[in-house]
Chains A and B, each alone.
Chain A
Amino acid sequence: MEHVELFFKSIFIDNMVFATFLGMCSYLAVSKKVSTAVGLGAAVIFVLAITVPLNWLLDQYLLQPGALSWLGAEYADYDLSFLSFIMFIATIATMVQLVEIVVEKFSPSLYNSLGIFLPLIAVNCAILGGSLFMQSREIATLGLATTYGIGSGIGWFLAILAIAAIREKIRYSSVPPALRGLGITFIITGLMAIGFMSFGGMLTGGDDEGAKKEEQTVQVQDSEENKVANNITINE
Chain B
Amino acid sequence: MGLLSKKDAKLITDPLADNNPITIQVLGICSALAITAELKASIVMSISVLFVLGVGNVVISLMRNIIPSKIRIIVQLIVVAALVIIVDQVLKAFAYELSKTLSVFVGLIITNCIIMGRFEAFALGNGPWRSFLDGIGNAAGYGAILIIVGFFRELLGSGTLLGFKVLGDPIEKTGLYSIGYENNGFMLLSPMALIVVGIIIWVQRTRNKALVEDH
Residues of A bordering B, CB below 8 Å? 18-26, 28-29, 82-86, 89-90, 93-94, 97, 119, 122-125, 127-129, 132-133, 136, 170-171, 175-184, 186-187, 189-191, 193-194, 197, 220-221, 223-224, 226-232
Tell me whether A190 and B198 are in contact (CB under 8 A): yes
Partner of B26, one of A18, A23, A28, A184: A28
Q: Looking at the complex, which of B9-17, B57-65, B96-104, B172-180 is the stretch in contact with chain A?
A: B96-104
Q: Does B49 contact A (CB under 8 A)?
A: no
- A175 to chain B: which residues have CB within 8 Å? 215
Say how far A86's CB is from chain B's closest CB, in angstroms: 4
Closest CB-CB distance, B175 to chain A, in whole Å?
14
CA distance A26 to B117 in the complex (A): 12
Chain B 95-130 interface mask (CB, 8 Å, partner A; 1/0): 001001111100110111100100000000000000
Given contacts A25-B28, A29-B26, 17 further A-B contacts (CB under 8 A): A20-B34, A21-B34, A21-B193, A25-B113, A85-B81, A89-B111, A132-B104, A171-B215, A180-B213, A184-B198, A187-B199, A189-B194, A193-B190, A197-B189, A227-B37, A227-B38, A227-B158
| A228 near B85: Cβ-Cβ < 8 Å | no
Cβ-closest chain B residue relative to A32:
B215
The count of residues in chain B whose C-beta lies closer than 8 Å to any C-beta of chain A is: 64
> Judging by beta carbons under 8 Å apart, are B190 and A21 in contact?
yes
C-alpha spacing A224/B35, complex, angstroms: 15
Query: B27–A178 contact, CB under 8 A?
Result: no
Nearest chain B CB to A232's CB is how many angstroms away? Answer: 7
